[in-house]
Amino acid sequence: MIKVCLADNHPVTHFGVKSYFKDHDQISIVANVGNFSMVRDILQTKEIDILILDLELEGLSSIFEIKSILKNFPKTKIVIFSDLAEQMYAPNAIKAGVSGYVHKTEKLETLGHSIIKVQEGKIIINETVRKNMALIAKQSKSERLYRKLSNREIEVLRYLSDGKKNNEISKILNLNEKTISTYKLRLLTKLNVTNLVDLVNKAKTLEII
């Protein structure tokens, strides 16, 4: 039996997932948590094969925290279950070490198939995303830099789009405020805009956020 922990903000998601897998012959939901601080506690006390994780989980401020979980609990694999744009977030999640990315618009049946395949050692992502990742891998370093934002840049962009100021973002990500300003400048350059409003609008148009 594959032991699964679901980490999600929304009670409706917990209820739906738990109900769907209640009588599953291969998957058992053995833990449910509603914020990131509880994830480590669960992994320390229970044997978890697959962690189903929402990128917008309360307390999860950086994808680097996901890397830390994978490093400290190598026997646990992570599947992202989120409604954030798969095209942009899946490549960075896979790069961070997660084993799968399932968008919340997919049926729970798809989530179940993904859990089983990930337990078998496979990487689960949308075929379009997979092709784009392969294409990016073939490009020169300069082309990749222009076409693909880094994990940190995406994180900073998300907080900027939420209306947070540089000093607020620096506290959330535990980075120097000047560093945040540098990331902001890089984002303006990469997305070829000159101000914050245009930056956020373009990011939304490109489905980055």
Q: Which of 105, 104, 93 is nearest to 69 (CA)?
A: 93
Q: Would you tell me how many other CB atoms lie within 10 Å of the CB of residue 136?
A: 13
Residue 96, pLDDT > 50, answer yes
Average pLDDT score over the chain: 87
Residue 182: domain span: 149-204
Could you tell me if 103 and 164 lie in one domain? no
- Is residue 143 situated within a structural domain? no
Give the largest Cα separation in the chain, rounded.
55
Could you tell me if 77 and 119 lie in one domain? yes
For the stretch 158-174, pLDDT in tens is: 899 999 999 999 999 99
Could you tell me if 125 and 41 lie in one domain? yes
Could you tell me if 156 and 120 lie in one domain? no
Could you tell me if 171 and 79 lie in one domain? no
Q: What mean pLDDT do residues 94-115 have?
A: 94
* pLDDT of the residue at 105: 92
Boundary residue ending a domain (79, 102, 134): 134
* pLDDT of the residue at 48: 97
- Decide which of 31 and 206 is more confident: 31
Boundary residue ending a domain (79, 101, 134): 134
